[in-house]
Amino acid sequence: MQIQENIPLAPLTTFGIGGPARFFALVENVEELEESLDFARDRQLKVFVLGGGSNVLVGDKGFDGLVIKIEIKGIEEVVGLCIAGAGERWDALVEYSVQKNLWGIENLSGIPGSVGGSTVQNVGAYGQALSQTLEWIEVYDTYARRVLRLAKSDCSFGYRRSIFKESDGRYIVLRVALKLSATGAPSVSYKDLREMFLKRSTPLQEVRDAVLEIRAKKFPNTRQEGTAGSFFKNPILSAAKAEALQAKYPEMPLFALPESTDIKVPLAWFLDYRHGVMDLRGVVVGGARMYEKQFLVLVAGKNTLAEDVKKLAVLVQKKVRETLGVEIEPEVKII
């Protein structure tokens, strides 16, 4: 393994902007990971672990520390489990499961990023979430300096939340095991999918194709414009606050959270000018703007600075606060 210096990070992220890493290491196994962590520890460097780069905004000055890119590969079936290395593309794992006719993550088709990063985020879409099928996660504990295997109950999963996101870099994901099913039916809580599949038996590949089609209509092509997908989390509100908002905006949908009295409200619904709550069309900061087909998405055109995206995000947060009295948080990691 080689520690490199002054490596551009923009090409390694879907936003495609931002400065370089002072030091950079690409690791393919635990031994290389330990070697890179020792390098950072000896020099008292900050460490940032990079997966697929689909949920991160790198600042214009870059990262003054060591960026570790996880490239641990491999997908296999072992005793009823589908096991993947953290460096695999998430959608490659979904595609593999569909080809093997294994149900459980097909609605998560097309989500960019790595398997490890998807675990940190507890990715979810169209009625499914990674945590629903997770059996165990193999991690490197940077405090204890050893490999651990964590059960789902150890991971504190929630909406866009996990112990990996909240432990300040203590755990680095190495491998993920999912328990998928050889039998199943389309998960159709999402309206567009329900209309397609509710009344007929559907091959698994058709479900994946439908999800990919829906995503293509809603999200920009990262080969043409920089983005990290949905930039903000949907707000989680108390039942009383959510009901007060719904009284003011009767058509606003509400989503109950499992094992909680709190309510998730769809930020995109409020940001969509067609609902008459707020209108941010045409708002541009430098080369950054809101995506016309999905208002949770911020995009970066040519010559956009990371600072442009940050300023646009602050502007959106301010507008939501003033209009709804609700604080919204970035889903994207800003470094």
SS3 state of residue 313: helix
Q: Is 162 a catalytic residue?
A: no
Confidence (pTM): 0.89
The 10s digit of each residue's pLDDT in 10-51 is 999 999 999 999 999 999 999 999 999 999 999 999 999 999
Contact (CB, 8 A) for 54 and 302: no
- In DSSP notation, 2-42 reads --EEEEE-GGGSSS----EEEEEEEE-SHHHHHHHHHHHHH
Q: What is the largest CA-CA distance in the chain?
A: 61
Query: Residue 149 CB: number of other CB atoms within 10 A?
Result: 13
Contact residues for 312 (Cβ-Cβ < 8 A; gap 6+): 283, 284, 285, 288, 289, 290, 298
Average pLDDT over residues 97-116: 94
Catalytic residue among 88, 138, 160, 162: 160
Q: Above pLDDT 90, what percent of the chain?
A: 71
Residue 233 has pLDDT above 60, yes or no: yes
Residue 202 has pLDDT above 80, yes or no: no
Q: What is the pLDDT of residue 276?
A: 87
Q: Is 230 a catalytic residue?
A: yes
Query: What are 299's two structure tokens?
Result: 């995009």
Q: Above pLDDT 70, what percent of the chain?
A: 94
Residue 197 has pLDDT above 70, yes or no: no
Distance CA 178, CA 42 (A): 36
Query: Residue 220 CB: number of other CB atoms within 10 A?
Result: 20
Distance CA 59, CA 17 (A): 8
Residue 191 has pLDDT above 70, yes or no: no
β strands within the chain, DSSP E: 4-8, 20-27, 46-50, 56-57, 63-70, 75-78, 81-85, 124-125, 128-129, 134-141, 146-151, 171-178, 226-230, 236-237, 255-256, 263-264, 284-285, 288-290, 297-300, 333-334
Q: Is 160 a catalytic residue?
A: yes
The 10s digit of each residue's pLDDT in 283-318 is 899 999 999 888 899 999 989 999 999 999 999 999
| pLDDT band per the 50, 70, 90 thresholds, residue 198 | low
Catalytic residue among 109, 131, 187, 230: 230
| pLDDT band per the 50, 70, 90 thresholds, residue 261 | confident
Q: How far is CA 85 from CA 55, 76, 119, 199, 211, in A?
A: 18, 9, 11, 37, 24
Domains and CATH numbers, the chain: 4-70 (3.30.43.10), 75-178 (3.30.465.10), 226-334 (3.90.78.10)
Q: What is the pLDDT of residue 186?
A: 67
